[in-house]
Amino acid sequence: MHKEKVQQFIAITGASEKVALQTLKNSEWHLEGAFDIFYSQPQIRTATDSRNLEELYNRYKGKLFHYYPYADMIMADGISLLCNDLQVDPADIVMLVVSWHMKAATMCEFSKQEFVSGLQSLGVDSMDKFRERIQFMRNELKDEQKFREIYNFAFGWAKEKGQKSLALDTAIGMWQLLFAEKQWPLVDHWCQFLQARHNKAISRDTWSQLLEFARNVDPTLANYDAEGAWPYLIDEFVEYSVENAVIQKTS
């Protein structure tokens, strides 16, 4: 059993057997806990090669200097190439997790600092190692605290530069992506309600509070408290759902 976990740990992290054994022992042989230790403590990871990181960055950064105002960045075409190399669909939620690790300021853009620092934090300095980390990043979505961080990160990442709110179509797309992962049964009803009744940009408060609503209020709305401090839009959603018999609210 322990041997299998060591092999899994090495396959995902690229760590040496010695590091794998020590980290698994420190986590009492819990694989997910060992991953957390490995990625949260840079000193135990194998050092990344800065030359390799530079080569990776140069492969993806914008080349058309006359067309890009910020050519020394990885833009949409570079990210498309990156996804191709990672064998990941650009619309895959794992690319949001990648952007979270890179602390990317804007969707479809990575500055050199974001890209290099993000890969260093993951212990990645080659495409093979990057591909090996993909499953680990998928697993991070199953961690409640990390999911909350990724969810809250997504608001600033997806909104247009200079805007305080998130465009409705973008917000709907992000909710469908994120809540499909967390399997919130009301996500489609919520999106339909917004298109029918709201049709305006989404504030950060509504964005963050919806996660709390999805986590804490039963899909039947049985424990919904109308006197609670929910944003008005969530209160309206509950009224809309009951009025349109989308949900039979129990008293």
What is the Cα–Cα distance from 52 to 128, expressed in whole angstroms?
Answer: 12
pLDDT digit string (tens) for 65-87? 545 555 678 999 999 999 999 99
The encoded tokens of residue 31 equal: 């694989």
pLDDT digit string (tens) for 180-236? 878 899 999 999 999 998 889 999 999 999 999 999 999 999 899 988 889 999 999
Across 13-53, the runs of DSSP E, i.e. the strands, are: none
pTM over 0.85: no
